[in-house]
Amino acid sequence: KTRANAAKKHEKCENGENAQYLAINPDEIAKLQEESKKIPYKMEIVWRNVALFGALHFGAAIGLYQLIFDAKWPTVLFTFMMYVLGGFGITAGAHRLWSHKSYKAKTPMRVFLMLLNNIALQNDIIEWARDHRCHHKWTDTDADPHNTTRGFFFAHMGWLLVRKHPQVKEAGAKLDLSDLLSDPVLVFQRKHYFPLVILSCFVFPTIVPVYFWGESALVAFYTAAVFRYAFTLHATWCINSAAHYFGWKPYDHSISPVENVFTTIAAVGEGGHNFHHTFPQDYRTSEYSMKFNWTRVLIDSAAAIGLVYDRKTASQEMINRQVDSHGSHDHWKKSMM
Ligand code: ST9
Ligand code: ZN
Ligand code: ZN
């Protein structure tokens, strides 16, 4: 019944051209859930990833210490700037532009976002968007790469430490990725991904503080590169975990995503997750003001200078209808966003 409600809701939305990436089909979901019971699945830990993420967190702890006690002020500011820029490469780029096609961007903007995306090192955009489209279309089933029914830790980062459920691969293979595979900017990123991310995520953030204000290379590496990278990862992962667990559901009570102020701030405007799963075609990913939605500010600024166009939004009438039929009017909470 819950799924059927969700589907009815999505039929009502004026999804436009990106509907094909988002449409939820309750019959298909029920079929997937039945099939999943028959698939023999044993969780297989990928120890290489456990070791790499263990080392990353060890380095990030050193970086945090140095950020507080050793780093020069410009290094602290630069670390923050790299977090925001890399964050934009995920939110404005991989997420709102490429996964959801919620707005269009001219080539210089797409190149800019792809370059920012490398700073965040979260797999190439084609792979990121493929997993994210699976997440929206089959939320909380075994075809969802970070299925929250497998627990908070799995949804947060555990899913990157084990082999994927066969149903992710089977269902995901049916997705239409032709728009991504035909974008030369994304093809370029995929082709040169390794050197691009080593340079953007680690080398560039280390060299700049050393060259421009004489920071120690080790301090620059552990703060602006390693700590900042780990912090951005957790801010992103929190959308899959915290923003599916802790918060309220003004737009749809029947789904796990919630509105969460902490993740709105940490993930530069992406914490309106109940709104986003209900209206995934809306480039704002939240109904509320621009106060913490820095990503929206970036997209709107780029639109003002002609680099971005065709921003899609859900109409206020549609939002109100949705709140009336499937959500609730917790208006006092709006002031927090
Ligand atoms: C990272 C990503 O952290 C984080 C994404 C989070 C998303 C959050 C979204 C929230 C909304 C936006 C908010 C943004 C907020 C940002 C705030 C910033 C301030 N469909 O993967 P393989 C097939 S990455 C279809 O090896 P295994 C396919 O044939 C961190 N098919 O599977 C594939 O081959 P190919 C850095 C699929 O062996 C083949 O399977 N990166 C799909 O099970 C093998 O794929 C890492 O740590 C699909 N969805 O391994 C790397 N998936 O690709 C981590 C797979 O050639 N990854 N196939 O087509 C890995 O090591 C592995 O993927 C694995 C699984 C071990 C996890
Ligand atoms: Zn999304
Ligand atoms: Zn979600």
Best CA proximity match to 247, nearest among 163, 336, 177: 336
Check pocket membership of 134 for ligand 1, CB cut-off 6 A.
Answer: yes
Q: Say whether pLDDT at 226 is over 70.
A: yes
Q: How far apart are CA 132 and CA 140, in angstroms?
A: 12
For residue 77, what are its two tokens? 């500011």
Check pocket membership of 260 for ligand 1, CB cut-off 6 A.
Answer: no
Q: How far apart are CA 30 and CA 15, in angstroms?
A: 23
**Of 291 and 231, which is predicted with more confidence?**
231
Average pLDDT over residues 219-248: 97
Check pocket membership of 173 for ligand 1, CB cut-off 6 A.
Answer: yes
Check residue 326 and give its pLDDT: 85
Average pLDDT over residues 231-253: 95
Check residue 228 and give its pLDDT: 98
Q: Which of 169, 201, 282 to mutate to test the pocket of ligand 1 (most atoms within 8 A of CB)?
A: 169
* The residue type at 255: I
Check residue 23 and give its pLDDT: 58
Going by CA atoms, what residue is nearest to atom 59 of ligand 1?
127
Best CA proximity match to 291, nearest among 314, 321, 261: 261
Check residue 182 and give its pLDDT: 97
Q: How far apart are CA 329 and CA 320, in angstroms?
A: 9
Check residue 5 and give its pLDDT: 52
Going by CA atoms, what residue is nearest to atom 37 of ligand 1?
169
Whether the CB-CB separation of 286 and 276 falls below 8 Å is answered with yes
Q: Could you report the per-residue pLDDT of 299-333, keeping only the tens digit for each?
A: 999 999 999 999 999 998 988 888 888 888 765 45
Q: Could you report the per-residue pLDDT of 6-19, keeping only the tens digit for each?
A: 555 444 444 444 44
Triad 225, 227, 231: Cα angle to 5°: 115
Q: Say whether pLDDT at 219 is over 90.
A: yes
Check residue 166 and give its pLDDT: 95
Check pocket membership of 92 for ligand 1, CB cut-off 6 A.
Answer: no
Whether the CB-CB separation of 43 and 31 falls below 8 Å is answered with no
Going by CA atoms, what residue is nearest to atom 17 of ligand 1?
267
Q: Which residue has the tokens 């737009």?
A: 251
Cα of 277 to ligand 3 centre, how many Å? 7
Triad 10, 11, 12: Cα angle to 5°: 90
Average pLDDT across the chain, whole number: 90
Q: How far apart are CA 200 and CA 118, in angstroms?
A: 6
Check pocket membership of 90 for ligand 1, CB cut-off 6 A.
Answer: yes
Check pocket membership of 132 for ligand 1, CB cut-off 6 A.
Answer: yes
Cα of 22 to ligand 2 centre, how many Å? 9
Q: Could you report the per-residue pLDDT of 78-100, keeping only the tens digit for each?
A: 999 999 999 999 999 999 999 99
